Chain A
Amino acid sequence: MNIASKPFRIFNYAFFVLLSIVTLYPFWYTIVASVVPFSVYAQQTLLWFPEQMTFQGYKSIMSNGVIPIAFRVTSFTTIVGTAASILMTMIGAYVLSKRELPGRTAIFYVILFTMLFGGGLIPMYITLSNYGMIDKLAVYIIPGLINTFYLIIMKTGFQELPKEMEEAAKIDGCSDIGILFRIILPVSLPMIATISLFYAVDRWNELYTAIFFINDTAKYTLQAVLYGMISGTDGTAQNVSISTGSIMIDDQIKFAAVIVATMPILIVYPFLQRYFVKGVMVGAIKA
């Protein structure tokens, strides 16, 4: 085996240690800033370690109406949206994977075209308005129901499955729909789980649907509320900081909100990371 020179190896390791620190530090800073009293926050520049901790900031934002409501909205759209998306994507991918189906190619191109060209924001707004979906929770779930890119990945995944499985089931008298749910689904569970994760992350992080299509702030997602707090249009951070007797300034409250908005992802990520990576690798190679 050939190994690089020693100085390079040392440099390489040092580089990646540095890169890891640079990647993680902003998150660490945010977490620490959200749990220390203002006196500590004002003093220390780098906030390496919380000398004193207080969870007052978190208690306050969770008791104020805005964040918990938005949390509920986002959880709802993520769970329901992901479930609906995966179901529809699975169905579409399965049908498109059947090479013998007459008209399949034409249908595929019809679907593919939507990935290459769209009407744009205004036509979409007017269309949704005509459907009566503006300012309704359904607008989080239905317009984005199928991500065509994920559909294509799934379709390719289904095509890779051995045909004998289906043929055996057909001989046993299984219907096409039955084959999908009783045979294909269990076998493809890893791929379906991975794509579900992609959908879930997309939904959790979504901002634009709320900003474009929702007016009632009680229906805003966590990201939209967070955006309001950061850009100053929402006074929650200031209100909370005043009511906590300025143990923390509103910047710190904003950090607490940031952590609340991203905590599920931060927690879940280390465990699910390899599924994401595998999904991308599979998708990339297919593409």
Chain B
Amino acid sequence: MTTLAANNNKREAITPYGVRRFSRFVRNWQMYLLLVPVMLYYILFHYVPLYGIVIAFKKFNPIQGILGSEWVGLHYFKLMLFDETFWQVTRNTVIISSYKILFVFPAPIVLALMLNELISVRFKRIVQTIIYLPHFISWVIISGIIINFLSINGGLVNEILQLFGGKPVQFLAEPQYFRSILVISELWKSVGWGTIIYIAAMAGINSELYEAALVDGAGKWKQTLHVTLPGMMPTIIVMFILALSGILNAGFDQVFVLYNGAVLEVGDILDTYVFRSGIQQASYSFATAVGLFKGIIGLILILLADRLFKKIGENGIL
């Protein structure tokens, strides 16, 4: 211990102020060396693509390249604002996200509360292992199962429907069912895994609070209402604000594998619209403009969320 202090003192004594500053950089040269590949990655694959945003303001032609293409200013943004499909997909995105926040968001909370009441630790652990599983399965695989279950000839759901005397329905091609299918499958996939963070939040509640409530004569239900839920509130609020700030992401992965031509008017979201018009229809500039719009709104939402966090007393993300 003393040797270390003595060494430092020696170094401080020798170097004057300006050189000491520089020597801090030099002393850490290995760190900066390690940083080089990392920063190279971020620059090449995250910041250089940002330059590509300029395509939204040009009439992009792959042959002329980004620099050679003609500047058209806000032309594509005006096109976007007057495009009916754009407003339709924006509406769909917000509606689908809202449904998910309404139905899928509370579910893990309720489930966590119920899991907490299980007495047998072994049973609880087995259940948890089972319900976490769908989170690790890709949407492609889940879509394969869903498409088969809902298919009009031989699909499980229609077979059961017919057993009860109903007529088979091509569920995935009916606009009226599509959003429900999205919400229900999202629920199935994410509710188990979502309980983890709420269980962690519950574990952090002071057990003395429960004892005090018990002494005051509170039964299970009252305890949940007055001790558990308030104790989880900070976590719930954080998760809720995060969910709200992500409202423009309705779940590209899921929608992409499940949607089809028949349900475009209810199921097409911003991301799938960008994909189709950009990659498949090669409307590069237009798609970039829509993507930029989404990115900017998303950024604003996250910054607002961060400010909200700080206002309610949590540390912000930034």
Contact = CB atoms under 8 A, between A and B. Distances in A.
Interface of A: 2-5, 8-9, 12-13, 15-16, 19-20, 22-24, 26-27, 29-30, 33, 42, 45-46, 88, 91-92, 94-95, 98, 100-102, 107, 110-112, 114, 116-127, 131, 142-143, 145-146, 167, 171, 175-177, 180, 201, 204-208, 212, 223, 226-227, 230-231, 251, 254-255, 257-258, 261-262, 265, 269-270, 273, 276-277, 280-281, 284-285, 287
B138 interface: yes
Nearest to A223: B140
A177 B133 contact: no
B278 A122 contact: yes
B197 A254 contact: no
B28 A16 contact: no
B24 to A, nearest CB: 6
Contacts of A127: 45, 48-49, 51-52
A141 to B, nearest CB: 11
Interface string B251-283: 011000100000000000000001100110000
Nearest to A251: B148
B149 interface: yes
Given A13-B118, A92-B38, A120-B292, A226 B144 contact: yes
Contacts of A30: 144-145
Given A102-B25, A107-B39, A116 B46 contact: no
A245 to B, nearest CB: 20
Contact of A91 (B38, B46, B147, B154): B38
Interface residues of B, number: 90
Decide if the interface of chain A is mainly helix, strand, loop or mixed: helix
Contact of A255 (B55, B117, B148): B148
B145 A227 contact: no
B52 A254 contact: no
Nearest to B45: A143
Contact of B42 (A114, A207, A281): A114
A280 B197 contact: yes
B66 interface: yes
A244 B50 CA distance: 51
B220 A2 contact: yes
B237 interface: no
A123 B50 contact: yes
Contacts of B210: 2
Given A5-B220, A120-B294, 17 more contacts: A4-B220, A19-B127, A20-B131, A29-B145, A42-B154, A88-B38, A119-B53, A122-B274, A122-B287, A123-B288, A142-B41, A207-B138, A223-B141, A230-B143, A255-B148, A258-B141, A287-B317
B275 A121 contact: yes
Q: What 5 pairs between A and B have smallest CB-CB spacing?
A: A123-B52, A120-B291, A205-B138, A176-B30, A119-B49
B50 A175 contact: no
A121 B66 contact: no
Contacts of A4: 117, 220
B64 interface: no
Contacts of B55: 122-123, 126
B102 interface: no
A22 B294 CA distance: 36
Contacts of B19: none
Contacts of A142: 41, 45
Contacts of B46: 114, 118
Interface stretch (B9-17, B83-91, B156-164): B156-164
A120 B134 contact: no
Nearest to A213: B279
Contacts of A121: 274-275, 278-279, 287, 291
Contact of A29 (B51, B143, B156, B160): B156
B250 to A, nearest CB: 16
Nearest to B278: A122
Nearest to B220: A4
26 contacts: A2-B220, A9-B117, A12-B117, A20-B126, A23-B130, A29-B156, A33-B148, A107-B39, A110-B42, A114-B47, A117-B299, A118-B46, A121-B275, A126-B284, A175-B30, A176-B30, A177-B34, A180-B34, A205-B140, A223-B140, A226-B140, A230-B143, A270-B129, A273-B129, A284-B196, A285-B200
B136 A269 contact: yes
Contact of B132 (A167, A262, A273): A273
Contacts of A208: 252-253
B166 interface: no
B291 A122 contact: yes
Contacts of A131: 44
B3 A171 contact: yes
B121 interface: no
A239 to B, nearest CB: 18
Contact of B4 (A167, A257, A276): A167
A102 B21 CA distance: 9
Contacts of B159: 45
A255 B131 contact: no
B114 interface: yes
A258 B145 contact: yes
A8 B119 CA distance: 12
Contacts of A125: 278-279
A21 to B, nearest CB: 9
B165 interface: no
B312 interface: no
B38 A16 contact: no
A176 B138 contact: no
Nearest to A109: B318
